[in-house]
Structure 1
Amino acid sequence: MYSIKIYDRNGSFKTTLSEKLVNCGYSFSATVNGGFSGLSFEYFGKVEIKHRERIKIYKGTQAIYQGFVIGIAKLSDRSGEKQVINCSGMLGLLAFIPYPNKTQSANPSQLIRDLFADLPGFTTSEIQDYHGEITLKSENLTFLTFLQEVLKHTRDWGFFIDAENVVHFGPYSTHHLLTYGEDCYSIDIAEESSNYFNHIVLEYEGGSLEKKDEIGIQNYGLSKIIVQETEIKDQATAQLRINSLLVEKSIMKNCKIAVNSNYKFATIKPGDIVSIRNTQRMVQNKPVKQVQYGPNTATVILDSYQSLEHFISQK
C-alpha cells in the first residue's frame, strides 16, 4: 500500500525501498510538510541511505510525505541488523544554506519566490501575491532564518510545503473556529521527547563543535548525542548545522483534538488553521498537520507548538 522512494541531494531518483524491508507506523490519512514535520522508519535492507537524501512516501500513486534524512542509526537486535532513518520536512533543508548578506526592499511573495528559485525541485506556482513591500537586512542568516524574517511581516498569511514539493503562500483560506464542549470534546497536548537532546556534539571533516541548551538541561537533565557529518568541511557550515540540530532535537508539544459531528469535520484539511474557544488552553491559529477521519469523529493533529511558529518567536 505504501512505498518509499529515495532521491539523492539533487533530487534525482535513486531507488524504491522494498515494503517487506521497512517497518513504519503510518497512522495518518492526510498530511502536509508544514513546519518541520518529522517521520522515522526502520529499514532492514542493504541500500545505503545517506544524510540529506530525500525521502518521498506514496500511498498508491499519491505522494503523502516528502522530507530529507537528518539522522541514521545502525542497530542490531534479535530481528537482525537495521537502520533507523529519521527525517525532517523539506522546510528544515533550508537551515543548511547560507543566505547572502544584503539589504533589500521587495514584495514578500517575490522574496519567497526568489529564495526557492535557487533550490532544485521546488515549485512556486502556489505563491500568491502579497500587497505591499517590506525592507529586510539579512546578515549571517540561513535560507530558513531569512524566510522566518519575511513571515514576521505577514502573520495573516499561511505557508507550507506539500508532499509534492509545492510551496504554498497566501492568506489563510480556511479558519476553523471550534467550541470546546460542543463540537470539540478533547484536547490532548503532550510533550514529545523521544528524539530529545540538549547537548549536541557535531563531528565534521574539519573538526568538531558542541552546543548545549542549559535551560533544557536544568529542566530535563542532560541528554547528549554525537552526530557525525563528514560532508561538512568548514566551521561556518558546521555552526549553522549545529544550531539547526539543537532546534530539531528540542522538546515538541504536540496537540491532538477530537472533533465530533456537530461540526462538518470533513471540511478540515491539512494546511487549514484551527482555533478553539471556551478553553484556557492556548489553541489559537494553529496549522493542521494531519487529519484522521472516522465515521462520526475526526482526530485533528496540529503542527508542533515548537515548530516554525515557535522558532520564529525565539529569534
Structure 2
Amino acid sequence: MTANGSPSRRLTATGAPRAGGAATIGDLTVSRIGYGAMQLERLRGDRDAAIALLRRMVELGVDHVDTAQFYGDGFVNGLIRDAFRPEDGVVVVSKVGAEPDPGGPFPMRPAQRPEQLRAGVEANLESLGLDRIPVVNLRRLDTRPGLRAEGDQVVDIDDQLAVMTALRDEGKIGAIGLSAVTLDGLRRALPAGITCVQNLYSLVSRDDEEMLRLCTEEQIAWVPFFPLGGSFPGLPKVTDEPAVTAAARSLGRTPAQVGLAWLLHHAPNTLLIPGTADAGHLEANVAAGTIDLDDAALALLDAVESRSADVALG
C-alpha cells in the first residue's frame, strides 16, 4: 500500500525523492515507479551504456528493479550486480519458472518443476552476487500471453509453493510473489504469504480487476506487466486510445505517461516496472509519477473499454 509515514520514507537511501512516491512490497518501502530490466539485453554490445542507465535510475529516485536470470541468460543480472552498491538501497525482485533457451523458438522455456525453481533461485543468487534475494516471483504459466505449460511442466501450485517457502525459510529469498497467476491460484497461495502479483494489466487490459481488488484488500503489491499494452500482436495499445491522447494533449504530456499515471491513480498498491534501454525514456517514465489526473480526466480514462478478453494470444 502507499506509504504515508515520515518524510524519510519518501526518500531513497541516496536521499532522492522516490519516483512516483513511496509504497510497500511486503515489509519493504520502495518507489512506486520501478524499473523492468528485461530490455537491458538490447545493450549487450554497450555494457557501459547499460551500467550508466542503471546508475541514472538511482539518481532519478528509482529503488525497485525487476529482473530474472533468464533475461539474456544472466547478462542482465550481471549488469545489476555491477551497477548497484549496497548504499544505493535498491530492492531487487527476480523471478523463476522459466530458464534460458537460446536455440529454441523462444529465448526461454518453462522450468516449473520444484527442483527447477530451486535451481533458478540458486542461479539468480550467483549472477546477482547476493546471499539473499529480497523478493522472488514464481512465474506461473496459467495465463496468456507467453509460454504455456505442457507435460511434466504442468505442476500444482501447492508443490511449487512448498519449495518457495522452503527457500524463504532457508534465507535465500526474502519474500514470495506470483506472476501470470489466476484468481483461484492467488487465493490458494494466500496462506503461504504472498508479497506481490505480476500480471498483464493496463488501461485497455483490465480482465484482472477482481484480482486487483483482492490484492488491495490483502495489502499485496500489484505490479502490472505490459502496462501500456501492445507488446504482443493483437494486444491493444494504451497510447492509441483517443481518451488517452486527448488527456495527454491537455496536460502537455505523452500518451505513454498518461497511461502510466492512470495505473498509479487507479490503485494505491500499484507499483510500476516500465522497461527501456534509453535514458530519455527512463526519465519520461519517472516523470509520469508527477502527473495529477483530476476527477474529470479519471472518469474519461476509466470509461475506456477493456478489450483484452477477446484477444487470442499464444
Structure exhibiting the larger radius of gyration computed from Cα positions: 1
Structure having greater relative contact order (Cα 8 Å, sep ≥ 6): 2
Higher strand share: 1
Please indicate the TM-score interval, normalised by the length of the shorter structure: under 0.3
TM-score normalised over the length of structure 2 = 0.27
Higher helix share: 2
TM-score normalised over the length of structure 1 = 0.27
